[in-house]
């Protein structure tokens, strides 16, 4: 089944924020040769998984709101302001921002080789095998964080951490 890509027009049944061709160009430009080794079907499957992950991980923190309650994906969105230095830009309601597409491509490469959201298990506090000993920090996350994706999408998400920018009005 061919991949259905959201282009900003609220495509019915959309499954991905980025096309196979665009993801292939993205990875080729960055020397990610592993992407080129995948079949088209594997690329489409990975893009679907990446988009599913983005919907689950970012749904509650995207800025603005979906243009229509019936659209398949979280983008396009309305009422999204992005800060660019001292300027604030309004994101058009008929696009999927390039950063969102790029994040989807990045996650798709990872999804082609691993589960993006594996089930969590109890972390090991201390383990000794022969002469090797490993102790894990109790405060480290039990799940994989995709920091590059989080940073890429930061302009499009609301603050979800302990640090918030305050402005005097």
Taking only the tens place, the pLDDT of each residue in 60-100 is: 999 999 999 999 999 999 999 998 878 889 999 999 999 99
- Residues of the chain above pLDDT 90, percent: 67
| Cα dihedral: 33, 35, 37, 40 (round 10) | -150
At residue 159, the pLDDT reads: 66
| Whole-prediction pTM | 0.81
Write out pLDDT tens, residues 28-68.
Answer: 999 999 999 999 999 999 999 999 999 999 999 999 999 99
Give me the residue label for tokens 């589960």: 115
**Calpha distance 58→74 (Å, rounded):** 9
Instruction: Give the span between the Cα atoms of 20 and 68, in whole angstroms.
Output: 25
Measured distance CA(107)–CA(16) in Å, rounded: 12
């Amino acid at each position: 089944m061919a991949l259905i890509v959201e282009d900003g027009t609220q495509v019915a049944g959309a499954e991905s924020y980025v096309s196979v061709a665009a993801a292939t160009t993205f990875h080729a430009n960055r020397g990610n040769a592993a992407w080129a080794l995948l079949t088209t079907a594997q690329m489409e499957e990975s893009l679907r998984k990446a988009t599913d992950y983005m919907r689950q991980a970012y749904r509650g923190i995207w800025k603005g709101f979906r243009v229509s309650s019936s659209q398949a994906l979280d983008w396009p969105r309305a009422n999204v302001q992005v800060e660019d230095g001292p300027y604030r830009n309004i994101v058009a309601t008929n696009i999927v921002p390039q950063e969102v597409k790029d994040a989807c491509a990045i996650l798709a490469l990872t999804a082609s080789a691993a589960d993006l959201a594996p089930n969590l298990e109890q972390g090991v506090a201390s383990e000794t095998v022969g002469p090797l000993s490993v102790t894990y920090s109790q405060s480290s996350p039990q799940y994989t964080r995709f920091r590059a994706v989080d940073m890429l999408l930061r302009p499009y998400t609301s603050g979800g951490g302990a640090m918030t920018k305050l402005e005097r009005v």
